Structure 1
Amino acid sequence: MFQSTIKLARGGSVSRLFSTSQAVQSHIGSAPVFLSPEVQIEINDLLIPKIIPKGSQSIKLNKLVTIKGPKGIMDLPIADFIGLEKDESKINVSIKNDKNRIQKQLWGTTRSLINNSVVGVTDGHSSTLRFQGTGYRAMLDEVDGVKWVRMKIGKCNLQCLPIPEGITVSAPTPTLLIFEGCNKQQINLFAARLRNMHPPEPYKGKGIYFNGETIKLKSKKVK
C-alpha cells in the first residue's frame, strides 16, 4: 500500500492512500491441509509448555499435534495462538490476531509443517546425494547393530556417519544415496551433514550434490 502527502493552500497537509483494499492475508496459512482416510490427528496439551524468546516477545508452545499414518507418527508442538479446526477430510489453521507480526509469520510456517507431516506419514519424503569425481563413492555398512554411511571422497580415510533412527538409506549405485523417511527436516539435515564433508568445488565440479543441485564452473586462473 502506497501513501502520498498532499499540501493544502493554508499550509496543512493530508495523507492519501493509493489503495483502499485490505491487507492481504497469508495464502499459505489460510489454505486447508487435506487429509486422507488413513491419517489420524490428535491435539493435546503439553505437560510442560516451552517458551521460546523472539526479540522483545516470546512464543509459548503449549499444544502438541500428533499425526499418525501408515508410514509412521509425527509429533509437532505448536504455539498457543494457533487455532486448528479439523473434520474428516481437512484441517484449517488460524491465528488469534492477524495484525501481530509474529503470529502472521508463524501462521504459514505452522501450516507448512503440518502439511509436511501429513505427507510424511502417508507417502513419505525422500532426498538424494550424488557423488561426482574420480573414485568418489558411498557404501552402507552395519557394525554392532548400528548402520553407517561410509564415503570415499578424495581423502585417505573413509568419511562416515551413523544413520539416525527413522531414516532409511539405500545405495542403488556407488555414486548415489537415497534417503527416505516421514520427517522431512530430519532427512534433509542428515543429508546436509554428509554433503558438508565435501561440497561441490567450482573448478572441476568434484563433490557431493544434494538433490538436483547444479553449480557454475569457474575457469582456472592463468598466471
Structure 2
Amino acid sequence: MFALARRRCLQSAASTPIALSASIPTFLLPAFHTPAPRTFATTSPCHSKIGSAPLSLPPDVSFKIIVPPASGRGARVQPMSTVQVKGPLGELSMQVPAYLTINMDPALAGPTLTVQNSSDAKQRAMWGTTRAYLQNHILGVSEGHSAILRLVGVGYRASVEPSATTVEPTYAGQLFVNLKVGYSHPVELGIPWGVKASTPQPTRLLLEGPEKEVVMQFAAKIRMWRKPEPYKGKGIFVNSETIRLKNKKIK
C-alpha cells in the first residue's frame, strides 16, 4: 500500500513538482527523489591502444597482404585477407577478418590496423588481438620464441631422443622428448613440426620455434605430466613460473 502511494506521489511530482514541494514537509522531500546511479569507479573508462599501435617490422622481414577475390552480391560471409610474414627463421601466415584494414603507408612507423566500426564490441576486441598475433609472427620469424622448462624433483630429468617405443612419428626425422618424472612407464612426446628441443642440463628443457602458440602449447602438454604441487614444490615449471608452498596437512 505504501509503495503504491509513493508511486502516485512520484507521478504527480513529475507533472507538478511545485505542488509536491508545497504539500509535503521539507524533511520528507529526499525520500521522493530518485537517486542518481552510482558507479564502481570514479574515473572515466580508458580503452587499450594496442590495436592502433603500428607493427614493429625489422628490415629483414617481409610483410605481404593477399587480398581475396571479391565475393558475389548478397554473400553472407565476407572473405578474409591473408597476411604472409617471411623472415630468416621461416614463414608464417594468418587470416585477417574482413572488417580489419591494414594500412601499409610508408610514411607511417609501420603497418597500422584499423576497424570499420570502433564502437562494436567484437571488432574492438579482435582489433588488439589480431595486432598482437601479427606482432608475435613478426618476432617469431626474426628472432624466434622460446620456453624453458625446469624439472624439480628427485630423479626428474629430460632428454631428446631420435626414436620412441610408445609413439609413432608423424613426419620424417621427428625427434621425441623423453621424460623421467616418477612414472614406471616411459613418457615420450613427439616434438611438433618447426619446434626445436634441447637439454642444456638434465633438468632443463629448452623449446624454440617461430610460432609462439605452438611452442607454448607443447610446453603446456609437457607440464601436464607433472603439474607443480604446493606441498613439496615438485613438478615441471614453465619459464618464470613459481608456486607458493603450503603447510603439510595434519589430521
Flag whether TM exceeds 0.5 (same fold): yes
Partner of 2:50, secondary structure, is helix
Displacement over 4 Å in runs of 4+: 22-25, 58-61
When residues 118 and 157 of structure 1 are mapped into structure 2, their CA distance, relative to the original with a 3 A threshold, is same
Deviation at 1:61, TM superposition (A): 5.9
When residues 111 and 136 of structure 1 are mapped into structure 2, their CA distance, relative to the original with a 3 A threshold, is same
Question: CA contact under 8 A between 1:61 and 1:77: conserved in structure 2?
Answer: no
**Is 1:180 aligned to residue 200 of structure 2?**
no
Structure 1: distance between partners of 2:150 and 2:80: 41
Structure 2: distance between partners of 1:87 and 1:105: 24
Deviation at 1:160, TM superposition (A): 1.4
Deviation at 1:25, TM superposition (A): 4.8
Deviations 1:96-118 (A, max 9, x none): 00010000000000110111111
Match among 186, 190, 203 for residue 218 of structure 2: 190
Partner of 1:73, secondary structure, is strand
Deviations 1:4-29 (A, max 9, x none): xxx9883898x89x9xxx97553101
In structure 2, the residue matched to 1:74 is: 92
When residues 59 and 28 of structure 1 are mapped into structure 2, their CA distance, relative to the original with a 3 A threshold, is farther
Letter in 1 for 2:146: S
Question: CA contact under 8 A between 1:129 and 1:208: conserved in structure 2?
Answer: yes
Bigger mean CA offset, 86-95 vs 130-139: 86-95
Letter in 1 for 2:147: S
**Is 1:150 aligned to residue 178 of structure 2?**
yes
In structure 2, the residue matched to 1:115 is: 135
Question: CA contact under 8 A between 1:147 and 1:163: conserved in structure 2?
Answer: yes
In structure 2, the residue matched to 1:214 is: 242
Aligned residues: 206
Deviation at 1:210, TM superposition (A): 0.7
Partner of 2:220, secondary structure, is helix
In structure 2, the residue matched to 1:3 is: none
**Which structure is higher in helix share?**
2
Question: How do 1:94-113 residues align onto structure 2 when only pairs under 5 Å count?
Answer: 94-113=114-133
Deviation at 1:145, TM superposition (A): 2.8
Q: Percent identity, please.
A: 36
**Is 1:162 aligned to residue 190 of structure 2?**
yes
Partner of 2:51, secondary structure, is helix
Letter in 1 for 2:186: L
Deviation at 1:87, TM superposition (A): 4.0
**Is 1:199 aligned to residue 212 of structure 2?**
no
Deviations 1:133-181 (A, max 9, x none): 0000000001273200010001111211100110011100000011111
Question: CA contact under 8 A between 1:59 and 1:79: conserved in structure 2?
Answer: no
In structure 2, the residue matched to 1:38 is: 60
**Bigger radius of gyration:** 2
Task: Please report the RMSD computed on the Cα atoms of aligned residues, expressed in angstroms.
Answer: 2.9
In structure 2, the residue matched to 1:84 is: 102
Deviation at 1:59, TM superposition (A): 8.1
Letter in 2 for 1:32: P
TM-score normalised to structure 2 length: 0.74
Structure 2: distance between partners of 1:176 and 1:128: 7
TM-score normalised to structure 1 length: 0.83
